[in-house]
Amino acid sequence: MITQELIDYVKMQLSSGVTRETITSDLISQGGWTMEQIDEAFQSTSEQSISAQTSFQIQDSHMTQPPKTIKYFEWLMYASLVPLIIFYVFHFRVLLVAIILFEIFLAYRIVYYQNNWARIVLVILSIFRIGSSSIISVFYISHPTFLLQMDSFTLTSILTAILRIIAIYFVFRDPSDMWLGLNTNLQKQHNPLSVTHNDNSKWNKIIPTMNKFFSIIAIGIFLITFFSFGGFDVFSDRTISFFAWGMVAVLFLLIIMNYLENLILVKKYTNSISKLDTWFLIFIIFRNLVLILNVLPYIQIVGMLIFVYTGIPYLVVYFLLVRARNKSVVTI
């Protein structure tokens, strides 16, 4: 008669990629099991695997409606876009109306067609829209009576940007990943033998790709600006040398953060999951946006102001996130 320990051992070895012949040989030579008992254990493991796969397929087939996180994303995105499109229509800003209609189309593709490419494009567009709202916010908050100086459109832009940030948070939650076909954690839970390796898509794909994208953009802007203003002469020109060295400092910071996240944290977190991963993603989007603002000529001062006012709090919260992430993980 076989035991549950034998069945669990066979499962573990199979999930680790060990061949049936090796498992059989080890059990006979070291465990003292008979061939009949070993065959029975393999048969029991196979039956449980088939049962788990069937259970997963049944549950997965029931996911025909978007999860709550996707619904929250949809409502928040529409709430952030409708006021703007009304304003732009009444002011005959055709191009801006077209952009918002395109964003509505992207949200619709995410919710009802489960297109991950639409999510990526929408996040990129959102970064620039949130960035413009951040510039407006910094300008007004720098004045003591900033609330009294805001017109209705400025206040609407800031509020809709906040709604959009919350919407992005929901669209990157685990149920949303599953809806978009990126999360296979449920499959592994129901069928551990069918999946021998799994990755956290946020750390394995989204965050490294985003860091590389923004790094290329930042370096490209810096090089264009550098040669447009006279090359190395910018460092000796008293009027612009401060801004030139500021760009260099930003690129240096970008290299450090990319090294930390793409080479260290990715290896550490790619095979585990945590609810904090979504917050990491939001913080990284915000940081990359601020770094881009710091290498853009003429509006670089805005990026510097954001950096000065939020830099230390950002680093403190980021450090606390890393510490909390190290403690609240689930291995996958």
Up-side HSE of residue 265: CA atoms within 13 Å toward CB?
25
- Assess whether pLDDT exceeds 50 at residue 187: no
Say yes or no: 240 and 217 in one domain: yes
Give me the DSSP letters along 210-240.
HHHHHHHHHHHHHHHHHHHTTGGGGGT-TTT
Say yes or no: 57 and 116 in one domain: no
Say yes or no: 48 and 81 in one domain: no
Residue 188's pLDDT is: 43
- Assess whether pLDDT exceeds 60 at residue 57: no
Taking residues 26-39, report their average pLDDT. Answer: 78
Say yes or no: 244 and 221 in one domain: yes
Range of the domain at 47: 4-61
- Assess whether pLDDT exceeds 50 at residue 186: no
For residue 12 the two structure tokens come to: 């573990």
Say yes or no: 110 and 215 in one domain: no
Residue 196's pLDDT is: 38
Taking residues 286-299, report their average pLDDT. Answer: 82
Helix runs in 150-192, H state only: 152-171, 174-179, 185-190
Is position 189 within any domain? Answer: no
Give tens-digit pLDDT for 196-238.
344 567 888 888 888 888 888 888 888 888 888 778 888 887 7
Say yes or no: 151 and 165 in one domain: yes
Residue 60's pLDDT is: 47
Say yes or no: 279 and 319 in one domain: yes
State the pTM of this model. 0.50
Q: How many domains does the chain have?
A: 3
Query: CA 184, 188, 189, 190: dihedral to nearest 10 degrees?
Result: 100
Decide which of 160, 184, 208 is a domain's last residue: 184
- Assess whether pLDDT exceeds 70 at residue 332: no
Decide which of 39, 61, 83 is a domain's last residue: 61
- What is the Cα Rg of the chain in Å? 26
What is the residue-averaged pLDDT of the chain? 77
Say yes or no: 118 and 130 in one domain: yes
Say yes or no: 33 and 71 in one domain: no
